[in-house]
Amino acid sequence: MRKYDGLRKEIAKLKASAIGVVSPYLAWLNSISDGYELSISFWDGKPNSQRKMPKTLLYKFKTSEEAEAYLLKYLQDNRPYKPFVLFSNEELIYE
């Protein structure tokens, strides 16, 4: 079983019910020297609209489990854009 399989499964469920105009589109879950860093970026699906998007959100966590739990809660509250992509500095987690 791969490290992020549970996270992939939960994001797939959330993505299937995506709604909204500006949605979470891209996230990075990176291992850093003192824990994990999570960044979430947004997009509305329109060409050349990057300047109008909310700023990228940046969070730090002590463990990957804390970061994953926060990301899932965030995506439950703010349905992800189709396609939603999640990367880490270890692997491509979800696309």
Burial label, 54 (beta-carbon count in 10 A; 0-12, 13-18, 19+): exposed
pLDDT, mean of residues 58-81: 90
Confidence bin at 19 (pLDDT 50/70/90): very low
Domain count, the chain: 1
Whole-number Å distance between alpha carbons of 36 and 33: 8
Which residue did the predictor score with more confidence, 40 or 17? 40
Residue 81 reports pLDDT greater than 80 = no
Which residue did the predictor score with more confidence, 37 or 13? 37
Per the structure, the complete domain to which residue 52 belongs is given by: 5-94
Assessment of whether the complete model's pTM goes beyond 0.85? no
